[in-house]
Structure 1
Amino acid sequence: MYESMNMELIYRKNLFSCFSSFVPFFLSIPFIFVYLFGRLSFYISFLLILILFVIHFLVLSRFYTKEVFLRAHFLTLILTIGCIWSFTSPAIGLFTIILSIFHLSEYISVGLWCPRTLTIDSFLLNHSPQYHGAIALAYTEYFIEKYFLFPNGFPFHWLLIILGLLMVISGEYLRKLAMYTARQSFSHLIQDKPNKEHRLITHGIYNYYRHPSYVGWFWWACGTQILLANPISFLLYLIATWLFFSERIVYEEGTLIRFYGELYRDYQKRVPVGIPFIKGCHIFLIISTMGFFQGIRGCALSNYNWWPTFVIIFYVLCPIPLMIGRQCTSSGGYGMSDNSPCIDLMWFLTSAIVISAFGLPAVLYRAAIIHLGSMAFVMAANTLIFITVTIYFMTFDSDDSLLSI
């Protein structure tokens, strides 16, 4: 009894340590407005805000859990920087705010709804080197586009900001709803052994997705890159998060079957996994959409010169030889051992179409009809589209049955 009371006091102290870090953030708001009204430069305003955070931490850290207090101060400082940034560069400012709120809300949500699992790792700041690299890549790609490719701004970027925000908010809401519904059964770590407080949750949002917290984080991650208009990062985030969750879910569901047996197998039959296990056709649809998006950016970069859109003709022609060639195989699908004059001819025609698609933007650039950057975007669009088409025909058999990946 006394041990549980002591643990509850520790959880409360840790949670209050996190909440108290918002004090310097609110005290920084006047400095933000002073900067916006031009009374102080950005660097002086930032220096004053930094001093405010440091003083608050040094004075009050002895009353709180120092490890939690330090990390929470770091995140609220990032939140403050994001607020300043959002007035001059909305996309990158919002992205910075979103990152800070995500990590702070993860710790707070665990502390409120499942304090049993609350640790310093609940901030998810030490998620993995790959995660940190992905964040760095997102910032790098954004600044390269902003200062080198689109110094005057990307056309209709505000539409992507709205779409990205909707995805981020929806994903974050779904994830936190999952944590609230599961409460003591939620954990950032997969449990290899059951404990007395762990229950199989099948009600609420879990009645629609078996892993709603993963679904929410998947859409959150992809939405951040749409908000930034980062095509390369979006594609990498899409693939990386899908691969991460596909492996994690397979392992996690194996442990759940071991814990609950037929009860969980019945639950599997009734309720889908969610976005991390989306079917291959949906993955390909998203990737091909990004390909078309690159083509449109190429046209916009050349002062809305629409000559590059003629590559769409090659996109339409490309699947035709492949569909004909698939009828020539004994299995109705493609394989490395397939060898016949019909298939060789169809691959030759497909190769000619693909080479022509890559040759068109090169010829247009050579003739000074489009810019170099425009050619690069169209080449990237070609790569995404043709990889999608090839993998589709190499993966799925002739009856077009799409198995869950």
Structure 2
Amino acid sequence: MQFRLKIMSDFFIRRLDAGSSEFSGDLEQLLAWESVADQRVESAVAEILREVKARGDAAVIEYTNRFDRRHLSRADAFCLDQAELAAALERIPADKRAALETAAKRVRDYHEHQLQSSWQYREADGTVLGQQITPMERVGIYVPGGKASYPSSVLMNAIPARVAGVDEVLMVVPAPDNQLSDLVLAAAAIAGVDKVFTIGGAQAVAALAFGTATVPRVDKIVGPGNVFVASAKRAVFGRVAIDMIAGPSEILVICDGKTDPDWIAMDLLSQAEHDEQAQSILLSPDAGFLDAVARSLEKLLKALPREDIAMRSIVDRGALILVRDIEQAIDVANRIAPEHLEVSVDEPERYLPRIRHAGAIFLGRHTAEALGDYCAGPNHVLPTSGTARFSSPLGVYDFQKRSSIIYCSPQGADTLGRVAATLAKGEGLDAHARSAEYRVVKTPGAERG
């Protein structure tokens, strides 16, 4: 059963009951979200990609001047060197620098645990098999810019690449009306970004994917952006790798009703304030607690600078869901596969083995999702829109490649060659079979096929 609870003027929040026969359909309706791009966006992006591929820097300058209201005349005008990043680091207040450095260290320490190593093993006949791990040569990170300031995005995207051993890390960040955040540039200095280009939108993605005289072509593009950036990343996938096509931010909270309702309400609002399409859901077996959180939402929303955005998000895509118990809440959470999952209950660790699908899991009453956004250590670039069923957070492994190693001894070539030749002939691939048979030890009188 689905209904909306009115808690303030023009504000309603959806209420669902997981025990209702209509719950499955109601949940599908709640989770429904259209793709990030429509035909108009994709058509505009396709034109920009074509022009940048054909005209390089000239097209990048043209689109940057048009969309970001700038007056660039030379490509070097959108390039920042290491000295300019260092200068931004010196300009920011001491407390902000200290916070960035603390967050960067925690992110770096966490991601160092993800490093993979090459490995090999030798079989009895001398054949050696293994895997060689190598970093990518060059990657590009996209960071939103202008009045918006997302230094955390710089740290979360650049530091894993650095830990992985990537040779060169490039960053693109738009500067509409020539506005650029010192915090973002300072974060780039701390994270070890090599070069920064003050361009954004689909033209920045195109420059990274195709390369221009000024912007080197990269192997992978990561980082968040608007609908045009997302559409461009999708379009260039295959020419370069990408991290993901991210949907709106999401949080799902499981609570037994014993946590302060203000805490839970603010956790929900922390995602709702991102944008109108963000999704915030609470699951609890305590109906009275759901009511208390609804009242807290009413109270706390009024004090938010982004009240209108958060309210629209809660009204359109938020929900309070009554469940039978915590076990059923976890079943529902696994079905949703949220980007962020808070488990605000007693002894949350005992439920961890049952959680199959979530981008990041926050255990305990004191673990606010916002800590993960900034400084806990794990990456905040996470799968959304149910893709946590098959995707993982951004990490060091996203900037490393794996190459298989096969070294056959003469005896190994003889053994494997006979097997391979038999299978190749079964597939009708004669050259494959002969190639394998050339290495097979010949019996006296046998002729090479």
Q: Please tell me the TM-score bracket, short chain as reference.
A: under 0.3
Q: Which has the higher strand share?
A: 2
Q: TM-score, normalised by structure 1?
A: 0.23
Q: Which has the higher helix share?
A: 1
Q: TM-score, normalised by structure 2?
A: 0.21
Higher RCO (C-alpha 8 Å, min separation 6): 2
